[in-house]
Structure 1
Amino acid sequence: MTRILRLFAALWLGLAGLATAQETGLSALARLEPARSAVTTSGEVTEVALGLTQAVPFRAFLLDAPPRLVVDFREVDFSAGRAEALSDQGLIGAVRWGRFRPGWSRLVADLTGPARIDTAVEQTGEAPRVVLRLSPVAAEDFAARAGAPSSALWDLPQPAATEPPHRRQDGQAPLRVVLDPGHGGIDPGAEADNLKEAVLTLTFARVLKEAMTRAGMQVIMTREEDVFVPLETRITVARAAGADLFLSLHADALSEGDATGSTVYLLDDRASDEASQKLAERHDRADLLAGVDLDGHDDAVAGVLMDLARTETQPRALRASQVIAGAIKSAHLRMHKHPVQTADFSVLKSPDIPSLLIELGFLSSEADRRRLLDSGWQVQMAQAITQGVATWAQADAAEARLLRQ
């Protein structure tokens, strides 16, 4: 059976595809079959064909700024394929794929120019395939068609119902820390020597969570597995949890220079240096790479992303950065020559939660890669950060109690 839908703005093939999979009795995860997958051109038309081991629900839509094709699947294992094999042909530029959220996978393809999805076909039976055909259109036509469906970020965690602002911690309750392992899913982050930043940060976050929990802190993580989490959702999780401190964990790579060691970043629209600025820009491109439509921010989240006054929170974040960096140095762990720096990271823009970004090391450094993979180093670093957080929290709580007198 072949189902063809002509598309104008977005495509959703959920229920029919789900029924097909159930009728055939297939329940294992669908897998990409590279031998039956290709991007081909015929005149102005570009065809994207993806061979699958079984039919799955899927949808496709276009995003602008920059032009992208997004295809969501429930759920496909892409591990047998190489995205490069489908890249840079016809209207298709760079291709990337991975888990977008639990139960869902996403393929994102940069477009070489404005295009429309003419047809989408899911061929079922013994050799299931998803086939999309694209053709060029005028820029104005593309802009009118592009945009994620209203469910593009379906089922994402929502903030708790309207609640009074979280009261500054005063030591009367366990410190509530949100750990944010950077990247994930379709966005692997930096890569070097077959290592992925998203995997390393999640591994370390689990070690750090254990250390903090043993120290009596309450720890919430923005992701517990290798899944993509948009920047705005990371902030939303922290605010909904009533976090006392937000720590985003990264292990980046630099194309120039030989940076090594750990760095603690806090928010400032003026970066400490050009390298810090480039890091912030690269981190903030994650949503674009993962096919997130940035035009429709919820008002509450959009407010968080604006440059808001942080007259109370930012000095607290500065003190936290200094104390944590000091604890890492006291543990004789390698730090960058400038251990505390500033940059305009969007993920740090919650106005009422002290927020820091910790670069654990650089994947571009062979020495850092060895450290990041060393379980002993991970435990030492986790203990140092935990000690720094505890020391900061004690002084911060004393100040809060003094201010309330």
Structure 2
Amino acid sequence: MIRAVLSFLMIWLAIPALAQDFRALARVLPADSSLSDVAGGGARMALALTQAVPFRVFTLDDPARVVVDFREVAWDGMSADFDAADAVAGVETGGALEPGWSRMVLELSRPLAVAQAAMATDPADGTATVHLRLDPTSAEAFAETAGAPPGVATLVAPAAGEMARPRQSGAGMLVVVLDPGHGGLDPGAQRDGHDEADLTLVFARELRETLVRSGRFEVILTRDSDVFVPLPTRVSIARAAGADLFISLHADALAEGRATGATVYTLSGTASDEASAALAERHDRADLLAGIDLSGSDDVVAGVLMDLARLETDPRSDALADALVAGIAAAEGDLHSRPRLEAGFTVLKAADIPSVLVELGFMSEPEDLANLLDPVWRALMQATMRDAILDWAVEDAAAATLLRQ
């Protein structure tokens, strides 16, 4: 049986968005990077990078190897004496087989299990260090847990990959970034002992599994635990991952009045109605809690460039939102009386990535809260969203072909 040790392991800390340039490749900081033996026959790696990037770790057998993939790292700063560990026979670096990924392969001298894999980010300058600890294990135990995550090529010979991700063609893997709303110091809406942050994280994890199992998706979460991630950083994660689409997940509550069912939002400079404006303001306040002020951060030129990019991206976001609403309706799912709205959510402001925000329901409504807590309802909604995204991908690719003509 093939099982991944860590299918997608990503650590994102609450750091100022402007402390890093996510548009550039992360680079190795050789002075702070090392790979050495530890007592007992294991090994420890510290890989210092100029900025935080999503990464994943897994093992492969015959021969024994540890593979660490990054989005993306330029390896030209690697020191020749980086590998000082007898437990690691050699280190190869380069591009992974999938475009947009960089790969490090540790060739093991003996079976070693991944005991720790984590990323620590310096809040002052945005640099990050990946810490990897490998402990001795038996050959049988190593073989039992070895295997690549679903959808990841098992060939590990580093190969040159594309540096820029083209618009999706409808044929290859779709890179989806799921954004579970709130988290950490911002629990979101609260009802009957339940936090919105917890419910959206459960839904996002399950949706990730639903998408990955189809064999058509590569999925990244902006957070995979109860941590606070600033709103602009969530967008930066999607851009660093080369996302084909971005879906933010929420489950709000109304202080007054009643509302039920799912709503899908796209970006607008002005909200569809006062309720949408209030909702956007409530979500965006999370950044104020972290002390981040984004006012005036974009100059005129940047604003013009983003507006030009949105001329192509906004219709794609609208089409994605329409596909999700149509899919939920066809599956006889629960929809709000006005299921398609617009608002100025910060997480939808990526100029170059089709983005939507899905309010799965309203925690203030007992029926909606019961749905969110029901694994059967969640599974049906997740399957519906998967099918709707695939339908959108086909139509989006066809529209791109027409534009090229």
Is the pair's TM-score, using the shorter chain for normalization, greater than 0.5? yes
Query: 1:382 is matched by which residue type in structure 2?
Result: Q
* 1:304 Cα offset (Å): 11
1:316 aligns with 2:316: yes
1:305/1:359 Cα in 2 relative to 1: closer, same or farther (>3 Å)? farther
1:286/1:174 Cα in 2 relative to 1: closer, same or farther (>3 Å)? same
* 1:398 Cα offset (Å): 1.8
Maintained 8 Å contact 1:305/1:350: no
Measured on the aligned residues, the alpha-carbon RMSD in Å equals 2.9
1:312/1:380 Cα in 2 relative to 1: closer, same or farther (>3 Å)? same
Aligned length: 254
What's the % identity of the aligned pairs? 55
1:384/1:297 Cα in 2 relative to 1: closer, same or farther (>3 Å)? same
Alignment-derived partner of residue 191 in structure 2? 192
Alignment-derived partner of residue 95 in structure 1? none
Query: 2:286 is matched by which residue type in structure 1?
Result: A
Q: Residue by residue, what CA displacement relative to the aligned partner does 1:39-73 show, whole Å, maximum 9, x if unpaired? A: xxxxxxxxxxxxxxxxxxxxxxxxxxxxxxxxxxx
- The whole-number CA distance in structure 2 between the counterparts of 1:102 and 1:168 is 30
Query: 1:217 is matched by which residue type in structure 2?
Result: F
* 1:401 Cα offset (Å): 2.7
1:385/1:401 Cα in 2 relative to 1: closer, same or farther (>3 Å)? same
* 1:102 Cα offset (Å): 8.2
Q: Residue by residue, what CA displacement relative to the aligned partner does 1:236-270 show, whole Å, maximum 9, x if unpaired? A: 01111111110000001111210111000000112
Q: Which has the larger radius of gyration?
A: 1
- The whole-number CA distance in structure 2 between the counterparts of 1:366 and 1:153 is 45
Alignment-derived partner of residue 167 in structure 1? 166
Q: Residue by residue, what CA displacement relative to the aligned partner does 1:175-196 show, whole Å, maximum 9, x if unpaired? A: 1111000111111111111110
TM-score normalized by structure 2? Answer: 0.58
* 1:284 Cα offset (Å): 0.6
* 1:167 Cα offset (Å): 1.6
* 1:292 Cα offset (Å): 3.3
Alignment-derived partner of residue 237 in structure 2? 237
- The whole-number CA distance in structure 2 between the counterparts of 1:394 and 1:227 is 35
The gaps in structure 1 that reach 5 residues or longer are 1-100, 105-149, 158-162
Alignment-derived partner of residue 265 in structure 2? 265
Query: 2:373 is matched by which residue type in structure 1?
Result: L
- The whole-number CA distance in structure 1 between the counterparts of 2:303 and 2:219 is 25
Maintained 8 Å contact 2:187/2:195: yes
Maintained 8 Å contact 2:119/2:128: no
- The whole-number CA distance in structure 1 between the counterparts of 2:371 and 2:246 is 24
1:304/1:331 Cα in 2 relative to 1: closer, same or farther (>3 Å)? farther
1:182/1:286 Cα in 2 relative to 1: closer, same or farther (>3 Å)? same
* 1:166 Cα offset (Å): 3.3
1:197/1:156 Cα in 2 relative to 1: closer, same or farther (>3 Å)? farther
Q: Secondary structure at the match of 1:263?
A: strand
Alignment-derived partner of residue 364 in structure 2? 364
Alignment-derived partner of residue 145 in structure 1? none
1:255 aligns with 2:227: no
1:309/1:401 Cα in 2 relative to 1: closer, same or farther (>3 Å)? closer
* 1:308 Cα offset (Å): 5.9
Maintained 8 Å contact 1:305/1:346: no
Larger deviation, residues 166-175 vs 190-199: 166-175
- The whole-number CA distance in structure 1 between the counterparts of 2:272 and 2:313 is 20
1:314/1:294 Cα in 2 relative to 1: closer, same or farther (>3 Å)? closer
